[in-house]
């Protein structure tokens, strides 16, 4: 297959005019099978990787339901998200164990849809004061043994774990597990010095920057300032137009640079569904348009998928090449899969998305087969 005529994402140059070729599941320097796709007037980008979303089309990872996880994977693939690393909520250990087991079975069975490349344990090692839409009754102190049990149940799929570094035992937790999993600072009251120590000890990411953490001010820079001063760290950003003001999206890309921002959707089960009432981690959420809230008005995840977040970021003034890097390259690097996905070099998976001039999905190729 040869995709020709489009502007193709390039790691060094942004976008270039060239062909994208593949025969079978891998990208190749040229194509011999004779198939072609005309991408004239379009943008050709790598399939995206969402490392932080909870659900969509009525399903949620925390349900621990295999059919629901498959529905999520199929919807995400239709939206050009070819790799998924869905996030669990704060739950009791037995429910988290089931979530991990279901994910492992999904992976083992090779079920349809976007490739399940990991799971993200957003809870339960979080601060009560900044729990957001997490269920406070199920919060848990940082617990290395518990995390190890969940990692075993997931059979290697746990790629990220969130922790509030000010909690008792958190620093020891970060030091001990950071070689095995990407530790993210999250749902925290940590000040600058505490967060900086967490990054020094091995934390490498911030979960949804600005949300569920102290603000960034001139005398108290907090987690945001500590992350900025820790150049090895990356920051997640929800660019749905609800969680973060467009000006702050622009400022974040300027401060951290496009190589350190990871666009995420943080979607819950209402993504791809109509307005109404839904469940998130055992709590009722009301969805109206792009806004999802608990009864007290707390924002409870997003209803905007990652491709729509990428489009929104561009509408806020982020160059398309930078937005693609933040939604395809950086998340793949963050969870250790960039050697096979996330860019369009020969030898990588033939996971390719064609966007029209309005940045709407025109075609999706997954492992060399056109699925949209």
Gap between the Cα atoms of 169 and 253, Å rounded? 33
What are the structure tokens assigned to 10, written together? 């390039």
Residue among 60, 63, 240, 266 flagged as catalytic: 266
Q: Are strands 27-28 and 20-22 parallel, antiparallel or unpaired?
A: antiparallel
Gap between the Cα atoms of 44 and 14, Å rounded? 11
3-state helix, strand, coil in the chain (%, to 5): 30, 25, 45
Gap between the Cα atoms of 311 and 155, Å rounded? 34
Closest CA to 362 of 349, 352, 353: 353
Cα radius of gyration (the chain):
20
266 noted as active-site residue: yes
Alpha helices in the chain (DSSP H): 66-78, 93-109, 144-154, 170-177, 192-201, 222-228, 246-256, 306-315, 320-324, 330-334
Gap between the Cα atoms of 294 and 276, Å rounded? 12
Contacts of residue 62, defined as CB under 8 A and 6 or more positions apart, other chains included, come to 54, 55, 88, 89, 91, 95, 99, 281
Closest CA to 107 of 73, 146, 81, 147: 73
Collapsed DSSP state (helix, strand, coil) of residue 87:
strand
For residue 288, count other CB atoms closer than 10 A to its CB: 11
CA 311 → CA 300, 318, 362, distances in Å?
A: 21, 9, 14
Gap between the Cα atoms of 128 and 151, Å rounded? 24
**Active-site residues: which are they?**
266
């Amino acid at each position: 297959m040869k995709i020709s005529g489009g502007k193709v994402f390039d790691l060094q140059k942004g976008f270039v005019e060239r062909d994208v070729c593949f025969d079978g599941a891998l990208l190749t320097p040229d194509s011999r099978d004779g198939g072609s796709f005309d991408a004239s007037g379009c943008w050709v980008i790598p399939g995206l990787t969402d490392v932080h979303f909870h659900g969509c089309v009525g399903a949620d990872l925390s349900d621990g339901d295999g059919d629901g996880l498959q529905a999520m994977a199929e919807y995400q693939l239709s939206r050009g998200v070819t790799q998924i690393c869905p996030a669990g909520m704060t739950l009791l250990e037995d429910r988290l164990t089931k979530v991990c087991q279901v994910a492992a079975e999904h992976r083992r069975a090779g079920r349809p849809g976007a490739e399940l490349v990991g799971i993200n344990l957003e809870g339960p090692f979080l601060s009560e004061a900044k729990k957001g839409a997490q269920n406070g009754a199920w919060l848990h102190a940082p617990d290395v043994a518990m995390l190890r049990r969940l990692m075993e149940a997931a059979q290697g799929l746990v790629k990220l774990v969130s922790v509030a570094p000010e909690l008792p035992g958190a620093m020891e937790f970060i030091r001990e597990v950071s070689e095995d999993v990407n530790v993210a600072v999250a749902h925290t009251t940590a000040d600058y010095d505490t967060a900086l120590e967490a990054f020094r000890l091995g934390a490498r990411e911030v979960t949804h920057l600005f949300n569920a953490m102290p603000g960034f001010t001139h005398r108290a820079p907090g987690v945001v300032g500590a992350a900025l001063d820790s150049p090895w760290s990356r920051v997640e950003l929800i660019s749905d137009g609800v969680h973060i003001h467009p000006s702050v999206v622009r400022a974040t890309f300027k401060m951290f640079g496009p190589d350190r921002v990871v666009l995420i959707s943080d979607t819950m089960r209402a993504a791809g569904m109509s307005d109404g009432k839904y469940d998130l981690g055992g709590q009722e959420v009301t969805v109206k348009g792009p806004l999802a809230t608990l009864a007290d008005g707390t924002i409870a995840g997003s209803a905007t998928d990652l491709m729509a977040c990428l489009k929104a970021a561009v509408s806020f003034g982020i160059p398309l090449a930078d937005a693609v890097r933040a939604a395809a390259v950086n998340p793949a690097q963050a969870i250790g899969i960039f050697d096979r996905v996330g860019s369009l070099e020969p030898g990588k998976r033939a996971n390719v998305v064609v966007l029209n001039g309005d940045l709407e999905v025109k075609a999706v190729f997954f492992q060399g087969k056109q699925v949209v």
